[in-house]
Each structure stands twice: as C-alpha cells, then as structure tokens.
Amino acid sequence: MMKKTLILSIATALILSAATITFNEAPKEFKRVMPQGDKNVVLSFYDAIKEAKESVVNISTKKRVKTPNFAGSPFFNDPFFRQFFGPLFKDRIPKDRIQRSLGSGVIISQDGYIVTNNHVINDADEITVTIPGSDKEYKAKIIGKDPLTDIAVIKIDAKNLKPIKLGDSSKLKTGDIVFAIGNPFAVGETVTQGIVSGLNRSNVGINTYENFIQTDAAINPGNSGGALVDSRGALVGINSAIITRSGGNNGIGFAIPVNMMKDVVKKLVEKGKIERGYLGVIIEDLKGSLKEVYKHKYGAVIVDVAKDSAAQKAGLKRGDLILEVDDKKVDDANELKTLIGSKAPGEKVKIKYERNKKVYTTIVTLKQRPESSKESVESETYGLELKNLDDNTRRLYNIPKDIEGVLVTEVTPESKAEKAGFKRGDIIEAIEDMDIKNIDDFKKAIKKYKGPKRVYINRQGYPLILVLK
C-alpha cells in the first residue's frame, strides 16, 4: 500500500513539475544611437509649431461682483449706529468689486473669429483679447456659446489674422506627440509637450457632452481655451480641464476634439446657439450583470422614459437596449447622447433596439432639448444650481469620501442665495436638523422648513452656517 502511495505521489509531482511558462523576451542584444546619428543636431519642433503659436491668443475678462446692500440694513439708518461709526462710515462700505480672470483662445478665421471655452468668458461683462507679437488690446463680443460642450465663439474687429490649421481628431492614436499652447498663470505664451494618453474619454463629470482627448502635456489655469496641436502644428483639440488635487498640473489634462469643436462652432456662427434633438430618456451603459439579460453586448439601456417625450411617442420603453441610430452603432450611453445631440429638433431618426432579446426598429421625431434638462433645482433653491457628489465630482473637486452633501456649482447673481452668502464650491451638508445627502434631500428640506432656515455648509474644509430666506 505504501509502495502504491509513493508511486502516486511521484507521478503527481511529475505532473505538477511539468507546468511551465514561456516569456516573450525582448532581444538581449541591442544598441543605443543618437537620433539621426549626428552629435551636432538639435532636436526641435520649433518649425512645426511656430505658425500654430501665432494663432493662439490671450483672453482676459472682467466681471462686476455686487456686494451686499448694507445701505438697506436697518442698522445703517439707526442714528446711534451712524454716530458710533462716524460720518465717514458710508464711504467705507465695500463697493462692487471687479473679478478678473485669464484664459486662452484660438484664431479660426482671418476676420477675427476666435474659439475658446465657455467657462473662460461666461458671465463676463468685458472681454479683452491680445494677439501674439502685439500689445494692442481688442474688445471682443460673444457670437455664441454652448455650456453643454464648454465651447464659445467670440469675435474681434481685426483683419488679416492667422487662423490655425485644423487637423482631424478621429485619426489620433494613443502615443501621438502633442503640444499644448496657451497662457498658464498669466506668465505669457507657453508651449508644453506630451503625448495622447487616451481617447474618447467620457463620464469625466465636466461637461454634458464629453468625448475628451486625454494628454499629459502640462495644462494649467490660463491654458483653458488654448490649442492642443499635433507634431505638424495642426489643431487637434481645445484645452479644457485638468484633474488635480493641488490646483496645478498632475499630468491628466483633457481637450475637446477638433471635430466636435468644428460642428459646434459652425452652428454658433450661423445661428448664435445650439439646438439639439432630444429623446427624453434616462440611459446607462450596458455593463456587469446587465449584459447577461440581453443578447447584444453593446448599446445604451433605457432606465426611464419621460411622459409625452419623443421616445414615448415612438413606443420606446424602460428596459429597451438601443443598438443603432440611423444605422450607426451605439457602443454606450455617451455615444447615444452624442448622436442624438448632433441631430436637430424635428428631425426623424431611425432607432434599432433590443426588447426581450428580439430586435425592433422605430422612427423617432426628436423634440427640442429643454434648457432645464441639466441636473439642477434652480427654481426651487433661490438661485442655486446643485450637483450630487458622485465619484467623478469628488475626484474633480478633491472632495473626501467622508463628506456628504450636495455641491453648489452656480449661484445666480443678485439671487437670495447670493445675498445669503453662498459661493460656488460650497457643500451643503444639512438644513436645520435634516442631513442632506443628495438633491432629493435638499428639495424635501426646502419644502419642509418654511421661512428662514439655517443651512450648514462646508467651504474648503471649514464649517459655516448661512441663513436662507
């Protein structure tokens, strides 16, 4: 018996030792060479990008920020109060202040059309442009802006400018060398080099319509609206945003592809605004266990259908998996959103979808995308626009996971919220004795507590209390 056991053990050991792995080794022998093999050659992309540099402008904006109206306070008109602080108190009341910001832009026509980011010029009272090689300042007017893609077009009264050459962002490959041109930190025209780190980046949480080029070329505050060019000097993207914990460059920057920019700019110049088709559905990607429910392994799943929407009228239902729009394959939810957004209101589109593992086709007449389709409770929050704290938002604004609440993304000028002291970036954690974890909680608290209410906020790590009336 022991002999059989010994033989079996030896056989098992031989079987186990027979397992092996072969590595794909790089050649052991190689040589190092100087580029071009000439020690007297300086490697440079100067000639490739010198024309592109002449097409990138500096943009400065001014915005008047109103201070609270102290003159309307009952204390201001109290005789004792005025006597205590003296007759010059009125002159010491803070006046409206001027908020200044800087950015970049790209010349796209000889007669003065310039493309930039919407967030660079949004709400500006005055826009000033300086072109490379000149100290002359030009006053710019807004031609059109599209917050959903963060693209804006402005125009200056100038002739014979040098428009940049446009490339084709659909031909970019990961690893391509690119250059970011702009005016970071107001130090002056700056060029930084990197590579294309990724393509078709979506769900970043920056814009509604996202299809970003990711790059490690240094993009810093002031670069927004500037050019991302390839090694020929052709424009491939408009620098837009960074992911950062420090406020500076961490090697993860995003640019809006030039092909998307061209489509938006053309419509802004021709009409002054963007009119987008609208399905009226809430969608999500086909992922995880959802893939087991459907025959196809790609597409966008309908989670909800709005009442009287274009989708409902065409017969689409919750649970349908959209596969194609006008014979174009839909890989995920972001692609469906982009395809529908590129269509005009009233346009008829053919949608192929899967329902109960069978494929159907329907014709949808798109409606106009409503202005209030973004996640906002503006009308119910006294001038606040809010956003839930999802993973993308936390990463973008460097918000720790132990902080719960809703993020203030915009405060309407002269609104009740502005007068109460709210600012962009505030995190609302509680209202009276009710904790706020999402926008629905906020809505409930607003309805529950009538009259003045104490709002507890977190501002850059410091707890504050404001009163919303």
* Enzyme catalytic residues: 119, 150, 224
Q: Is 199 helix (H, G, I), strand (E, B) or coil?
A: strand
> Cα(415)–Cα(442) distance, rounded to whole angstroms?
18
Task: Give the chain's length.
Answer: 469
Percent helix / strand / coil, the chain, rounded to 5: 25, 35, 45
249 C-beta neighbours (distance < 10 Å), count: 21
Q: Is the dihedral of CA 322, 323, 325, 330 positive or negative?
A: positive
Angle at 199 between CA 114 and CA 388, to 5 degrees: 85
Q: Are 453 and 431 in contact (CB under 8 A)?
A: yes
> Cα(230)–Cα(80) distance, rounded to whole angstroms?
69
> Cα(372)–Cα(135) distance, rounded to whole angstroms?
42
> Cα(338)–Cα(336) distance, rounded to whole angstroms?
5
> Cα(281)–Cα(336) distance, rounded to whole angstroms?
11
Angle at 96 between CA 94 and CA 102, to 5 degrees: 125
Q: In sequence order, what DSSP letters do the residues of 280-291 get, joined into one string?
A: -EEEEE--GGGG
Q: Are 211 and 235 in contact (CB under 8 A)?
A: no
Q: Are 184 and 244 in contact (CB under 8 A)?
A: no
- Region of 175 (left: φ > 0; alpha: ψ -120 to 50; beta: rest) is left
121 C-beta neighbours (distance < 10 Å), count: 23
